[in-house]
Structure 1
Amino acid sequence: MTSFQKELESRLSSRNLTCPVGGRWTSFQLVDEWGSGEPYAGLAYVATDSEGQRYSGNLDTRGIGKVTNHYAGPIALTFEQPCQGQEKLYIELQRRAHYPLKITELQVRAEQTRYLNPNATRTRENPAQACADDFFQVEVRHLVEHVAHLPPEVYRHYPQPAGPARLMGEHGKLGVAVMPQKHTVLEIRPLRALRPMLSTASAFCALNLYQLALMSTLTYCSFGQKPDKAPITTAVSFTRQPSVGNWFADALAKSEELGECYPGQRKPYYSLYEDVPYSRRLEIVPFDPALYAVNDPELGIHQEHPAKVHFLDDTGEEDSTDTQAYITHNDELILIAVRGTQQLADFLRDADARQVPFEEGVGQVHRGFYGAAKKTAAFVTSYLDRFYAGQKLLICGHSLGGAVALLLAEMLRRRPEGYTLQLYTYGAPRAADATFTKNAAPLVHYRMVNHNDPIPSVPGSWMNTKGNVYGTGLALAFANVPVGLSVFIAGITRWTGESYEHHGILRHFLPVEFDRKERSSILWMPRCDTITQHAACEVALEHKHGLPDRPALLAQLIQTGNHFMLPSYIPACWATLRRWQEAHITGSPLATKREYEWIDNALARITQQLRDEERSLARRGAPNGRSESDINIALIREVDKLHSTRARLATLRTASVSEKDVYGSLSEHPEQLAQDLARWQAHPENREVEQLAMAPARADDSELIRGAHGYAIGEPYTLDLDSIV
């Protein structure tokens, strides 16, 4: 007998060779958060034991499976069966040319389950625990191989221990390892997501007014992770809040509500969310070099990161337009939001002289805006070429981003794909001439303007006026008008031939002040320049010796707090949504009797003063040698517009508000709508009775947003609604 054979026979030999022990059994069950295994009935599984032996089977009607006669030690469970259904959504996601997804049948089943807790936090108790030797909370990503397209993990009260997987070595690296001779229950977290509620109907609705204001403000955030210089080696994640990536790829993907859409925001404004199957969320594409050739590190600078797909930021580039935009989609819509430059004054200087032909159509457009729109269009069309499949396009933007969004939307509307799109802009300056505006008439565009926001009044030819305002009689500040309106007659006569013209249907926030404690604002559609051109005129009128130089005036206009989203537009949009909700529920009009009389009396006094000015000009002659008939015609035209404006105001006292006016296409599913509204209304901030369409502002924001009339929009006030109606 050799020495080696003797060593093997010794009980103390370190080389003692033994056969693995068999005959073990393990049972397991998949359940939802309610303790039911029915959602997972029939699922195919694969169990791998500590020796690498694989056992396949199907769960029974209760979601239970059992492996018998396996080798000693834990077994690792996986559920890799591809999606078996014929639902169009899943078929297209798996077969699409760009970033096809590895969707398993387990994922599809988990998407049909629901959270036990309304806030989507993990449960502490589950009825299935009563029959379990071991109970763990897991997610779909723990049981499948490809996980890049799945949401990040959330906190679990009962995580599976790492020990069993370590015991299995290489065979325990994939799946969930469970111990033998036990019955283990695995609670699968529902695979649901929150999606901002957005109407795809072409008609204006209060829901989109508020929601797209938030989406526009989000453009001022970063994407959340800046890709490494090639090759990309850092794990892709978006934990920074607020950021575009965190919104759509992290928080909402985990069903976590967000109330912050701007860095440093102190008061939350929650979006209205709908609870949807995870595959119907607004998507951020996955990053997986093993699956997608475009993620291959060998591509160097051409290696693709989700930020390159969804986010445009050309700051610092050689041909930079200082533009930011983001784009995301699901099977129903594609959302595009544009920020534009933060150096708005630079773009607006010498605006009248910087027009170029609109190459995609007809008319002249602002050269700076057009350059940014072209850069954005290249980014957007690249995305649409990959992911457009007949969805509706929703486009939004604030300030210069609104002007860029207008040109972008018209570019897309004229493309041969025949996109169906609509546009919401907030405080956008003029971007094009009358020829462009006329030919872009089919474009659905809702243009929101705050009464005291001067930016929508520019560029305007009257800003080039160098004469003394008061000496020439070009200014008219209306007396005894509580709205505090003023107008340049030069602005409404357009002597120089106005080079720029607004596009879209105007929705105007008009402040109403009864006294120092009772203030409101209504959203309406005036037709007169006296209302719509007031803000920029008033800033200029503050200069006692005439209009300032154009650059100085533009810089002053941009500093007004009434132009910003967070202190001004978002509160007004939020409160308008609340007003429309109340009007629908109670059957009340959009304007109270007291508000209507207040505004109508002001407009009547303005009309009379315009008529007086017409007679006065006839006596003293036209200023600066201008044609007297031109001025008289302009004043008469403005009086006619005021009559139309008063008629529109009257409709606010009689028109009813339907559920579709408030929620658009989402009103077609009333039961789901009621559930989603309950989530939004659970936040105390959204339960305030807000008849005023004006939201309270924080005290430390008051100086920033203080208007020309001595009060900050949204300062705290008290109001007895019964005294108004």
Structure 2
Amino acid sequence: MEPTVPCDPLLSEKSEACPLRGDWISFQLVDETGDGKPYAGLSYVLQDSSNQKYPGVLDANGAAKVINHYQGPVVLHIDAAYAGTEDFYSALAQRKSYPLPITELQVRAEKSRFVRKDGLRVENNPAKGKTNQFFHVEVSDLVKSSAHLPPISPRKHPPNFNLLKAMGDLGFGQEEAELYGLCLLPNKNTVLEVRPLRAFRPMLSKDNKFSALNLYQLSLFASLSYSNFGQAPFEKPFDTISFPLDPSVGYLFGNGLASFRETWKVNKDQTTAYYPLYEDVAYSKRFEILPFDPKLYDQNKLELGPDQDYPSKWHFFDDGEAKGGTNTQAFITHHDEVVLISVRGTAEPMDFLRDTDAEQVHFEEGVGKAHKGFYEAYKAMSEFVQTYLQQFHINQKVIICGHSLGGAIATLLAEALRRSPKKYDILLYTYGSPRAGDADFVAGAKELAHHRMVNNNDPIPSVPAPWMNTRKSIWLPGVILSFITAPVGALIFAIGLTRTGGAPYKHHGELHHFMPVHFKGRDQSSILWDPGCDSIEQAACTTALKKIEDLPDRDAFWLQAIQMGNHFMVPSYIPNSWATLRRWQQTQKTGTTIVTETEYKQVSFELQEMQIRLKDKESQLKSGDHSDRMANNQDLGALRAEIGRLNTSGERLNTLKFHNLTPEEVYGSATHAPEHELNVERWMAKKENKIEVQTAMIPKAGSSELRTA
């Protein structure tokens, strides 16, 4: 028995008083190749003009037909919840915080692939010529809740949303609280090309061993930490949010990569395109930015006032405007295998003051003492990170990166998380980081996997000096005097300086030092190595190698300190990291070594020059008039130890000359990803990466980048 149908106007007063049956509709879901099999067996619902619903299941070709529905357009939605057996999707749908409305349609679209490598739509779908109507559609067009899905991509054949809106405004059949789906015209066959749900995800190695891939990738994310989150509206959102600001953290993860665009900008003044290496993954396996949907999540409702929840509160920490804030900034995001945390470095005057507050305080989360300014900044963001991990950590690797001040804060954060009851699996990369703790802290953090990058003459890793453990008002006048009176060629351990009580400040982590080599002309390459000697490691006495046969000159630290270009990310650390990755890629592929004969000769010459200078200083100390014999003996001991370490540097350089890289040294665990070679080929296809020489030259920074530095 058919249900009673009210005799109300249908779409206008000119319509029949009572709707009539007799129309039919047929439709098919296909992928970009015209194949409907990926969508076979999907449940659907058609709703006609009298609010009659026709549930069904797509056939083996992703098609369906309904005969004798009430006259007029029909609305199609495919909104059945995922009921499959894959734990990954079930976990997303059932998690405590922000459970996602995963549909079977979404899962099917995530398993389809783009025909074009760039993700742009194909011009002519084979199914287009076999139908009356053809539309480009997205999963979000067919489901009720879509805030967790990507922004709509440009399309040449969009559905008729004006008709759907008109039907909703006029009251489509019986009153509907919400009308959603696609509007299809009757007595026609319609083909719907469903856009694949794929995303780009930065490739990362989860191996604790150093890799050139992580070196480069994390240099980009360390730089991104200086950007805003980019959410609009910034606060008090009502129904939707967006991420229009490029570059920003929100734009990169919530817009660009989610929409399968190879975004490259991580700094607003960046002019050189540094593309991350991306892998093509199912959309749900991207780095996630949480959805905002007040209809689905009560915590998103505007009426909550200051307690209202939205993405920037979860993903972005910035206490610069807070009363008593530390001006610390960081972002956090995750996917099913990695949680990524990046901490901003020195950016404002308050950050410089924090850098110089060298008083040592107890590191409550572990052993030893920490730099007071860095520790306070870590404490400020600790709850933010812990809250996120409590909700979204499911045994992923936690990868943390930071530049400058951010590197020191990241070091304290990483060790605290490693020692927490959950014992997170931590991997840390820092760039130009100052010392964060004393020798006891470093000894206690021995098991923390930390790769520490220093670029040539970057002075920031040399502070706080080992002897600094008092407030800046006490040590600052003395340190200035020490730098000014230091002779040319002075050693970083600063003979004659003293420390007052407690263990000395010490660097944590495995050093990777960028040592530039200049060639004739303006070109220069960069060797990444651990030289093993204070004269190079601490950056205060390192200078770039000059042109062939030119003698290197050495400035005192106070002169080198003003050469801050070595410290910044976009002009220095990122180009050096890119050049290292390209060098390692090429030498691994060709079976050659990562140090050329020319570079080997120049660096060997530099090491010999260092030894000559130190031996000259040793002779001066031996022959001088010494009122303090004990202090003189200490200075002589320090000089002789450094001369011995320079011998170690020579041995390490010799090892590099004969070392052949493995793929794992270049890409780490990412080497074994299912589509690793395709992902690398995509990156190599960029014109910026097509350098076919063993010595990948360091790109020169653009003028705007240098001005920013």
Superposition TM-score, scaled by structure 1 size: 0.88
1:678 aligned residue (660, 673, 681)? 681
Structure 1 residues 306-321: aligned runs within 5 Å: 306-321=311-326
Quick check: 1:519–1:692 contact (8 Å CA) kept in 2? no
**1:400-459: CA deviation from partner (whole Å, max 9, x where unpaired):** 000000000011011010210100000011111000001001000000000111110111
Please state if 1:74 is matched with 2:73. yes
Task: Give the deviation of 1:500 after TM superposition.
Answer: 1.1
Task: Give the deviation of 1:623 after TM superposition.
Answer: 8.5
Q: 1:212 to 1:490 in 2, by over 3 A?
A: same
2:222 aligns with 216
**1:17-56: CA deviation from partner (whole Å, max 9, x where unpaired):** 7321211110000000111000000100000011111001
Paired amino acid for 1:509 = F
Please state if 1:507 is matched with 2:512. yes
Please state if 1:31 is matched with 2:35. no
Please state if 1:647 is matched with 2:651. yes
Q: 1:75 to 1:583 in 2, by over 3 A?
A: same
Task: Give the deviation of 1:514 after TM superposition.
Answer: 3.6
SS in 2 for 1:142: helix
Quick check: 2:74–2:184 contact (8 Å CA) kept in 1? yes
Distance 2:96 2:626 in 1: 67
Distance 1:543 1:573 in 2: 25
Quick check: 1:27–1:65 contact (8 Å CA) kept in 2? yes
Paired amino acid for 1:274 = E
Please state if 1:348 is matched with 2:355. yes
Distance 2:484 2:251 in 1: 53
- Structure 2: runs of 5 or more not aligned: 1-6, 8-12, 173-177, 469-475, 545-552
Paired amino acid for 1:88 = D
- Structure 1: runs of 5 or more not aligned: 1-7, 9-13, 478-485, 707-725
Q: 1:303 to 1:372 in 2, by over 3 A?
A: same
2:335 aligns with 330
Task: Give the deviation of 1:117 after TM superposition.
Answer: 1.4
Paired amino acid for 1:619 = S
Q: 1:15 to 1:101 in 2, by over 3 A?
A: closer
Q: 1:234 to 1:224 in 2, by over 3 A?
A: farther
Structure 1 residues 235-634: aligned runs within 5 Å: 235-342=240-347, 343=349, 344-351=351-358, 354-460=359-465, 461=467, 464-465=478-479, 475-477=487-489, 487-488=491-492, 490=494, 499-535=504-540, 557=561, 560-622=564-626, 627-634=631-638
SS in 1 for 2:505: coil
Q: 1:604 to 1:370 in 2, by over 3 A?
A: same
Paired amino acid for 1:561 = G
Distance 1:704 1:224 in 2: 24
Quick check: 1:22–1:72 contact (8 Å CA) kept in 2? yes
Paired amino acid for 2:35 = S
SS in 1 for 2:675: helix
**1:34-88: CA deviation from partner (whole Å, max 9, x where unpaired):** 1100000010000001111100110001110111110111111111111121111
1:718 aligns with none
**1:222-256: CA deviation from partner (whole Å, max 9, x where unpaired):** 001265554x3262111110000001111100001
Quick check: 2:223–2:267 contact (8 Å CA) kept in 1? yes
Task: Give the deviation of 1:615 after TM superposition.
Answer: 2.1
Q: 1:324 to 1:522 in 2, by over 3 A?
A: same
2:210 aligns with 204
Distance 1:698 1:298 in 2: 48
Distance 2:483 2:355 in 1: 22
Paired amino acid for 2:645 = K
Paired amino acid for 1:347 = R
Task: Give the deviation of 1:264 after TM superposition.
Answer: 2.2
Q: 1:628 to 1:38 in 2, by over 3 A?
A: same
Distance 2:32 2:239 in 1: 34
Distance 2:568 2:395 in 1: 34
Distance 2:14 2:83 in 1: 49
Q: 1:166 to 1:147 in 2, by over 3 A?
A: closer
Paired amino acid for 2:606 = A
**1:72-109: CA deviation from partner (whole Å, max 9, x where unpaired):** 11111111111121111101001111100000000000
Greater displacement, 113-122 / 336-345: 336-345
SS in 2 for 1:375: helix
**1:155-205: CA deviation from partner (whole Å, max 9, x where unpaired):** 001011235424533449311011111100000000000001111111110
Q: 1:685 to 1:37 in 2, by over 3 A?
A: same
SS in 1 for 2:494: helix
Task: Give the deviation of 1:609 after TM superposition.
Answer: 2.7
Q: 1:640 to 1:286 in 2, by over 3 A?
A: same
SS in 1 for 2:327: coil
